[in-house]
Structure 1
Amino acid sequence: MNMSTKPENKFSEYLGNDEQGNMRLRLGTKFAAIYVEKGKDIYKETSKGLVKVTLEELVSKPWIRENFERERAFQRSKALAVGLQSSHIPLRERRAYKKRMGWVGAH
């Protein structure tokens, strides 16, 4: 799959988490908007501050929530990969331990 690295072709960009742990994403191509997820609610950043995204807008634009879910899963798997890379326990030993304990592949 060819993906351009030009910023105008990106639809979703992860902007990180703020001090309270709320996830921030820039969604859109030409006129991108910044969305913030606080708990279960999604807000849109405007010049007046944060404005809650209405239920009607979420129903008409399901890609907003889908992008948050996809990015959350990706960040979680990325953190796990970084944690496992820095672990002193080799992969083979980790798998053997889980198999001995009956957590995977025992049945």
Structure 2
Amino acid sequence: MMDQEDTNRVSVSQDQVKELTEMVLELLREKERNAEPEDPYVTTRIPITDLAVYPELIEALPSIEEDFFRTPLTEEERKEAIHSCPRSDSMNYLPPPLNDSAS
């Protein structure tokens, strides 16, 4: 059976839970009032991450430090790169006929 001391503890605990619940609800209401409206024209992006190359990799492959995206090809190198890829004879593409009403 519960004695008087246990009853008092339960009562105090219930009062504390009720008080904490009210405080949390008040904080949630305040947060909702101060929330910035979402702008459909603003997009959040992930931060950029820079990768550092291991010195051992640079020693093994020195060209890794070159910015190969910005390295322009000469006209001859460009033609060679394009023409080194074989064409596919198996693909027959027939574009749809033009719609006369669209023009």
Q: Which protein, 1 or 2, shows the higher relative CO under an 8 Å CA cutoff with sep ≥ 6?
A: 1
Structure having the larger proportion of residues in helix: 2
Q: Considering fraction of residues, name the structure with more strand.
A: 1
Larger radius of gyration: 2
Query: Could you say whether these structures have the same fold, taking a TM-score greater than 0.5 normalized by the shorter chain as the test?
Result: no
